[in-house]
Amino acid sequence: MNPKSLNTNKFNFKNPNTDYLKTFIWIYFWLLMFEGGLRKWILPGLASPLLIIRDPIAIIIWFLSIKRNLLKFNIYILIFISVSLFSIPLAIYFGHGNLGVAIYGARIFILHFPLIFIIGNAFSYRDVVKLGKIVMYMILPMTAIISLQFFTPQSSFINRAVGGSDSGSGFGGAAGYFRPSGLFSFTSGNVMYYCLANSYLFFFALSKTKYFNYLSLSVFAIGFIIGMPFCISRSLLFQIGISLIFAIIAFSKDSKILLQILKVFLIVIILYLVLSNFSFFQISTAAFTERFTSANENEGGLHGVFIDRFLGGLFGAVFSDKPAPYFGYGIGLGTNVGAQVTTGTVGFLLDEGEWGRIIGELGLVLGLIIIINRIALGLDLLIRAYKCVSKQNLLPWFLMSWGLLNIFQCQLGQPTALGFTVMIGGLAMASLKHSSANSSN
């Protein structure tokens, strides 16, 4: 599908009074940030129902957006919803046969994914910047939490798993240390938060409008640099590299900004060298390095880490040795909830990669329709974001440095990943409405 052939005016941006709608979008965001903490520490007895705590909020957002005529059913939404609705009876008659699992799987593209367009319509540029500032202010406390989780036993309170279990929420790391989960249910949520923070940090550091003074930005950068190795995540490291490439592309014709990028890079190196004198940073960096080296060897180096992981394994999903049935195994089966309900165990029944999960659930034809639709949406937003660069609006470009791959192939069967994908897509879309003529802090 050629994104140039799509109507780029379909997002229908308006500016009515949307206070209530915005309030529930903010609630959606805060629940995304703290849902894991609720399930681990505050309300562990309600861990299961809290897994879908954002679903009723999404329903309210839908209701308010329709009431205010803020959502137009464009080609993307129609494809996502129609394929998902069609997949429910197919799952019952040809797949796993469980209506609850089918509805749980279908809600991803019926209920949540269209929120990208609602957020893009309801939020202003100022709202996107405001949320980014909050993300920046959270860097230090988030880094403090994951450092405690990193150095304390898995049986400690700070490392409680979902449901309050003292088995620990950390995941296999390296050098005897576990990857921390932060405020989230699982370590992937923690990594996604830092990826979002990375996109905003690049924007605030390189924007010509000064939203923070140099001292504040330096403090945020130090917190981010300290937190990065504690995450023990190759995904985060690659995301930083991708954002750097986006920055170079954006400022390739601006020698002054390229020099500024070089200065920022040198400052980061200096900060890294200074932090390397502290034992806590040496330990976390050593664990990250060991994880990076061993995982690269096990997964086939750059091809295994980047091609298979980041591009979703489409080739493997389409040309699998065990191809899915024509109508798939049933929508929802590839999620952890689907596995729990149908087999009693949590895990990836179909494929750990998103594109493999989609084709496994829906079959080759319907699965490819969903995948192509996601690619078209991602490319459409990327092209629109790049056009904004010449208008001195860098925010959508840097948000799409992470949002592009998320929209393409993020594992939406996991609720936290779904929430971050919805937010980054909606924020990128909302930030397109800014123009240099009316820029404000």
> 328 CB contacts (<8 Å, ≥6 apart)?
87, 90, 91, 94, 95, 359, 360, 361, 362, 363, 366, 367
Q: Domain residue spans in the chain? A: 3-152+181-438
330, 343 contact by CB (below 8 A): no
pLDDT given at position 154: 82
Return d(Cα 218, Cα 205) in angstroms, integer.
9
Report the Cα 269 to chain-centroid distance in Å.
27
Handedness of CA 1, 315, 402, 421 (dihedral sign): positive
Cα 186 to Cα 51: distance, rounded to the nearest angstrom: 12
Supply the pLDDT for residue 162.
Answer: 86
pLDDT string in tens for the chain (441-residue length): 444 434 444 444 444 445 889 999 999 999 999 989 999 999 988 888 888 999 999 999 999 998 888 877 899 999 999 999 999 999 999 989 999 999 999 999 999 999 999 999 999 999 999 999 999 999 999 999 999 998 988 888 898 888 887 777 766 666 677 888 889 988 889 999 999 999 999 999 888 888 999 899 989 999 999 999 888 888 888 899 899 999 888 887 666 677 777 777 787 788 778 887 888 887 888 877 777 676 665 555 555 555 555 555 666 666 666 777 888 899 999 888 888 888 777 666 777 788 889 999 999 999 999 999 999 999 999 999 999 988 889 999 999 999 999 999 899 989 999 999 999 999 999 999 875 434 443
Q: Given the structure tokens 């080739």, which residue do they identify? A: 315
pLDDT at 437: 36
Which pLDDT score, from 0 to 100, does residue 324 have? 79
- φ and ψ at residue 37, rounded to 5 degrees: -65, -40
Q: Give Cβ neighbours of residue 316 (< 8 Å, ≥ 6 apart).
A: 308, 353, 356
Residues 105/338, Cβ–Cβ less than 8 Å: yes
Q: What whole-number distance in Å separates Cα of residue 313 and Cα of residue 192?
A: 20
At residue 405, what is the residue type? L
Whether 70 and 21 have beta carbons less than 8 Å apart is answered as yes
What is the pTM assigned to this prediction? Answer: 0.89
